[in-house]
Amino acid sequence: MTNGWIDIKNTDMMLIMGGNPAENHPCGFKWPIEAKRNRNAKMIVVDPRFTRTAATADLFVQLRTGTDIAFLGGLIRYVMENNRIAKDYLVQYTNAAFIVRKGFKLPEDGLYSGFDAATHTYDKATWNYEEGGDLKGKPDTPGDGAPSANPPALPADVAYDLTLEHPRTVFQLLRKHFSRYTPEMVERITGVPKDQFLKAADLFTSIRKDGDTKKVGTIIYAVGWTQHSSGTQTIRTAAMLQLLLGNVGRAGGGVNALRGHSNIQGATDMAGVFDLLPGYLKVPTMADVDLKTYLTRITPKAAKPGPWNSFNYWSNTPKFAVSLLKALYGEHARKENDWAFHYLPKIDRRYSWAEIWDDMYRGHVKGLLAFGMNGVAIGPNSSKNIDALKKADWLVVCEIYPDETSEFWKSPGITTDEMKQIQTTVYRLPGAGFAEKDGTFVNSARWLQWKNAALPPPGLARLDQEILARIFLKVRELYQKEGGKFPDPVLHATWNYTDPHNPSLAEIAKEINGRALADVTDPKLNQTIKAGQQLPGFAWLRDDGSTSSGNWIFCGSWTEAGAQIQRRGTEDPSGLGIYPNWAWSWPANRRVLYNRASCDLSGKPWDPDRAQVWWNEAQQKWVGNDVPDFKPDSPPKDHMGPFIMNPEGIGRLFVPLAGMADGPFPEHYEPTESPIDNPLHPQQTHNPLAKRFSTPLDKFGSPAEGYNIICTTYRLTEHYHYWTKNNPMNVQLVPEPFVEIPAELADEMGLRGGEKIKVTSARGHYLAKAMVTRRIKSMIVDGKKTYQIGIPIHWGYRGIAEDAGKTGLTTANQLSPAVTDPNAYTPEFKGFLVKIERA
């Protein structure tokens, strides 16, 4: 979230799309309700189904799953055509006025300039700004433009036209790009009737009617947007819409990812994913032959119009990276060995979730450690994951309940004879439940909150950190005794915990915050942090080895003043729901990101009633109710951009160069399995960069083969993924798997509620009872009558209902395809094709 849960109460307008917070985040959903109760805020819900969230909405629009970009693109067009833009914000705080270099081509045919059909990648040299000066009133000359630098880089001095009239301004290109997303086109693609779309468009953008700059709107989404083959671009479309409306950085505004589980945000922050190191540092690649090459590659240089300023906070990257290496390898990270840079692996390709299973299936991955992660049930294409595990040498599962993954070898359909052929050794280790562990989660509002252990783990169950530490120290012992391949990082990783075999999470939390390894002085503040002291914040990090920090964005969370993450201050002096003394929020305890943008160019809040930060002329600094997300002493006249993490300092309507894999602007592509060709460009129906796999189990279905019903998957408020099927209370609330079927389709099939049905995709089938409902209606998509059905995912082959023989022992993800988004590598769990019949 750019903002936070409580902050939603400050909004005037909500677009909830690609998320169902009433269902999946009920306690957070009180804040949208508060906005309705206290501000008469309006709520628009756009979803393939009439959901629990829709039940409280002012306007519900049913949309075909996977067509969100078309809907949002239509909104962008509407905003521009009807002058519902926040003009000053747009010109001053986004790259609307930047000039794009010649040779850049919009995807009228479905492809941007630079596409290589052989590799399915883009040469992004043309996806860049033009260099040099104010082009206001200057005619555009023909030609292809200057050849790009190699490797391509952003120009330090970006050409611009603040009148936005130059034909190659981002604004004009944007207008042209989305001019195709007419209400009629939106209707053809999304199935949303034109009048309903216009009603939603008018309502959402009404906050900028007649030049109003006070009102604020928010966009709220979750995995309904991410789990598509164009998921990342969907979120970008929303961000662009919010930039056009001037809603980012403001109380009650922003682009708010609800995230899913308790520590999904933290797992991303802490680099639980292959392409990151802690604090969103990029993981090194094979081209990073030394630390300098790596840091040069990942440290951006400011790129902006001449008269403007850019903080370019990522210019501090070397300090973050060296401090991380010091935290990981201590005294073994020295200047002479490049701070142990080569202790870290260098990637040469994609190693994401779907690749793990594909490469295991191909025999490349031999061993898997799964700690609290049920990969078989989670899928996609669960049958492939089961077959992949059959080929592994070993599997270690740490869990609190018996799960599908640890029992893949006796999954339904495997005979005793087959079992004898499965050579995988499986260890199942009993871990600790949440109540038995302390430590922090990061919620979707970026709050780090410490929790306390209430009781010991039962039986022989152990704390997860104890299990991992004992395994790692045993491996280290083996390398010490026997040697082996490149033992240095294994031997030298810092492990100075009081009890190395069961490290205290408080000690680790302090290590993550970081400390001074030598005296560190800030001459400007005239302050020194003594060697050994906890650092007060990331501004103190150094790239000379004098500081260590396990994650720079968490620096400030456990300082000499104590554990900020344990704070329980309940005061909210501004009334904006900031709660500055409750726990701690990254970065630097600021609660709303980009909050400089909540003020006009002169540093005054757009809405004085919702004042977050402002420029104090007397003190010559930024002050306020929140921690300013800005260079504190940069006066408004210097025109420093509020989006300090971008090298341009502005919000990006156009993403230059490598920012996005599949285009500087979002474009609607059909889901991988779709009932129609793409009405925008039938010759390029799908995202050309979406990744498909090619094993015999990666099959795809089409309407011609009888797969003509759109299926989406989701979660219920009564259940939690594949966990609460072990909890009798939750099982009582929703006892059995079901599939939601439109009443109209059920009538056609002569199907009654409660009858058993079989849903089949090209990859597998799912057995459940039919829930016949009027909450999903048929749609006309590009002239074709189309049905959508929905499957809650919470069942598998181990659980209370499963063990009692009350289910079909199938998992919903036996249906879903392993196709991934080219930016976030998230699989397309939502929006694939199936057929249904009575079971």
Partner 1 sequence: MSNGPLEIKAISGHAGPVPGRDTSRDYDVCKLVDVTTCIGCKACEVACLEWNGYPFRETVFDNTYQTMPDLAWNYYNLIRFNEHTASDGTFSWLMRKDQCMHCADPGCLRACPADGAIVQYANGIVDFQQENCIGCQYCVTGCPFNIPKFNPETKKVHKCTLCSDRVGVGLEPACIKACPTGCLHFGSKDDMKDLAGRRAQQLREHTAHTNAGVYDPPGVGGTHVIYVLHDISNPEAYGGLPANPRVPWTVKLWKGPLKWLGNLAMFGGLLGVTLHYLRFGPKQVKEDHAEGKS
Partner 2 sequence: MADTRRAFLRIGAGGAIASVLGFDLQPAYAQSKELKIARTTETRSTCPYCSVSCGVIIHTLGDKAKNVTPQVVHVEGDPDHPINRGTLCPKGSSLMQDILNERRLLKPQVRRPGSDHWEDIGWDQAIDEIARRIKKTRDETFIERDAQGRTVNRCEGIAWNGGCTDTNEFNYLVVKSMRSLGVCYLENQARV
The structure tokens 């009798």 sit at 728
Q: Which of 700, 702, 817, 22 is nearest to 354 (CA)?
A: 817
Q: Which of 97, 495, 564, 553 is nearest to 328 (CA)?
A: 495
Query: Which residue among 7, 12, 23, 68 contacts partner 1 (CB under 8 A)?
Result: 23
Cβ proximity to partner 1, 384 vs 719, nearer residue:
719
Instruction: Give least dist CB 512 to partner 2, A.
Output: 5
Nearest 5°: phi and psi at 219? -120, 130
Cβ proximity to partner 2, 130 vs 464, nearer residue:
464
* Residue 728 interacting with partner 1 (CB under 8 A): yes
Q: Which of 773, 641, 764, 126 is nearest to 385 (CA)?
A: 764
Residue 261 to residues 86, 258, 796: CA-CA distances in angstroms?
Answer: 34, 9, 19
Cβ proximity to partner 2, 640 vs 815, nearer residue:
815
Residue 213 binds: one of partner 1, partner 2, none (C-beta under 5 to 8 A by kind) = none
Separation between Cα atoms, residue 825 and residue 214, nearest integer Å: 38
Instruction: Give least dist CB 25 to partner 1, A.
Output: 9
Instruction: Give least dist CB 559 to partner 2, A.
Output: 16
Instruction: Give least dist CB 729 to partner 1, A.
Output: 6
Instruction: Give least dist CB 448 to partner 2, A.
Output: 7
Instruction: Give least dist CB 35 to partner 2, A.
Output: 14
Do residues 237 and 669 touch, judged by C-beta distance below 8 A? no
Residue 369 binds: one of partner 1, partner 2, none (C-beta under 5 to 8 A by kind) = partner 2
Residue 461 binds: one of partner 2, partner 1, none (C-beta under 5 to 8 A by kind) = partner 2
Cβ proximity to partner 1, 30 vs 342, nearer residue:
30
Sign of CA dihedral 255, 261, 266, 271: negative
Separation between Cα atoms, residue 61 and residue 59, nearest integer Å: 7
Strand order, beta sheet including 447-451: 439-442, 447-451, 584-585
* Residue 193 interacting with partner 1 (CB under 8 A): no
Cβ proximity to partner 1, 56 vs 521, nearer residue:
56
Per-residue tokens: 184: 């009629």
Separation between Cα atoms, residue 664 and residue 666, nearest integer Å: 7
* Residue 549 interacting with partner 1 (CB under 8 A): no
In sequence order, what are the residues at sequence separation of 6 or more whose Cβ sits closer than 8 angstroms to the Cβ of residue 555? 513, 514, 535, 537, 538, 540, 541, 549
Instruction: Give least dist CB 622 to partner 2, A.
Output: 24
Site string for partner 1, 680-719 (x = CB under 8 A): -------------------------------------xx-
Cβ proximity to partner 2, 487 vs 635, nearer residue:
487
Residue 770 binds: one of partner 1, partner 2, none (C-beta under 5 to 8 A by kind) = partner 1
* Residue 734 interacting with partner 1 (CB under 8 A): yes
Query: Which residue among 704, 729, 750, 783 contacts partner 1 (CB under 8 A)?
Result: 729
Site string for partner 1, 80-119 (x = CB under 8 A): ----------------------------------------
Cβ proximity to partner 1, 12 vs 782, nearer residue:
12
Instruction: Give least dist CB 594 to partner 2, A.
Output: 20
Query: Which residue among 5, 29, 122, 825 contacts partner 1 (CB under 8 A)?
Result: 29
Instruction: Give least dist CB 794 to partner 1, A.
Output: 13
Residue 468 binds: one of partner 1, partner 2, none (C-beta under 5 to 8 A by kind) = partner 2
Cβ proximity to partner 2, 266 vs 647, nearer residue:
266
Residue 293 binds: one of partner 2, partner 1, none (C-beta under 5 to 8 A by kind) = none
Cβ proximity to partner 1, 26 vs 682, nearer residue:
26
Instruction: Give least dist CB 785 to partner 2, A.
Output: 32
Residue 373 binds: one of partner 2, partner 1, none (C-beta under 5 to 8 A by kind) = partner 2
Instruction: Give least dist CB 466 to partner 2, A.
Output: 10
Cβ proximity to partner 2, 276 vs 743, nearer residue:
276
* Residue 733 interacting with partner 1 (CB under 8 A): yes
Cβ proximity to partner 2, 199 vs 451, nearer residue:
451
Query: Which residue among 262, 494, 773, 823 contacts partner 1 (CB under 8 A)?
Result: 773
Instruction: Give least dist CB 29 to partner 1, A.
Output: 6
Per-residue tokens: 222: 């979750």
Per-residue tokens: 550: 């396990």
The C-alpha angle 173, 300, 143, rounded to 5 degrees, equals 35
* Residue 749 interacting with partner 1 (CB under 8 A): no
Residue 486 binds: one of partner 2, partner 1, none (C-beta under 5 to 8 A by kind) = partner 2
* Residue 22 interacting with partner 1 (CB under 8 A): yes
Do residues 43 and 36 touch, judged by C-beta distance below 8 A? yes
Separation between Cα atoms, residue 4 and residue 441, nearest integer Å: 15
* Residue 735 interacting with partner 1 (CB under 8 A): yes
* Residue 750 interacting with partner 1 (CB under 8 A): no
Give the binding range for partner 1 (CB under 8 A) out of 482-490, 574-582, 653-661, 730-738. Answer: 730-738
In this structure, the chain runs to a length of 839
Separation between Cα atoms, residue 727 and residue 444, nearest integer Å: 25
Nearest 5°: phi and psi at 833? -105, 140
Residue 268 binds: one of partner 2, partner 1, none (C-beta under 5 to 8 A by kind) = partner 2
Cβ proximity to partner 2, 54 vs 378, nearer residue:
378
Strand-pair category, 447-451 with 439-442: antiparallel
Residue 26: asked if its preceding bond is cis (omega within 30°), the reply is no
Do residues 372 and 262 touch, judged by C-beta distance below 8 A? no
Query: DSSP state, 27?
Result: T
The structure tokens 């083959």 sit at 229
Strand order, beta sheet including 13-17: 59-62, 42-47, 13-17, 217-221, 255-257
Cβ proximity to partner 1, 527 vs 732, nearer residue:
732
* Residue 738 interacting with partner 1 (CB under 8 A): yes
Helix, strand or coil for residue 323? helix
In sequence order, what are the residues at sequence separation of 6 or more whose Cβ sits closer than 8 angstroms to the Cβ of residue 153? 301, 657
Instruction: Give least dist CB 59 to partner 1, A.
Output: 9
Separation between Cα atoms, residue 363 and residue 371, nearest integer Å: 21
Site for partner 1 in 774-813 (CB under 8 A): 774-775
**Diameter over CA atoms, the chain:** 82
Residue 837 to residues 739, 761, 772: CA-CA distances in angstroms?
Answer: 12, 12, 14
Q: Which residues in 394-516 belong to E strands, given as ranges?
A: 394-399, 425-430, 439-442, 447-451, 515-516
Instruction: Give least dist CB 797 to partner 2, A.
Output: 14
Query: DSSP state, 242?
Result: H
Separation between Cα atoms, residue 48 and residue 18, nearest integer Å: 9
Do residues 22 and 55 touch, judged by C-beta distance below 8 A? yes
Site for partner 1 in 54-73 (CB under 8 A): 54-56, 58
Instruction: Give least dist CB 832 to partner 1, A.
Output: 24
Instruction: Give least dist CB 396 to partner 2, A.
Output: 6
Q: Which of 673, 698, 669 is nearest to 686 (CA)?
A: 669
In sequence order, what are the residues at sequence separation of 6 or more whose Cβ sits closer than 8 angstroms to the Cβ of residue 420? none
Instruction: Give least dist CB 536 to partner 2, A.
Output: 19
- Residues linked to residue 769 through DSSP beta bridges, in sequence order: 738, 756
Residues near partner 1, by CB under 8 A: 22-23, 26-27, 29-30, 33-34, 36-37, 40, 50, 52-56, 58, 717-718, 728-729, 731-736, 738, 752-754, 769-775
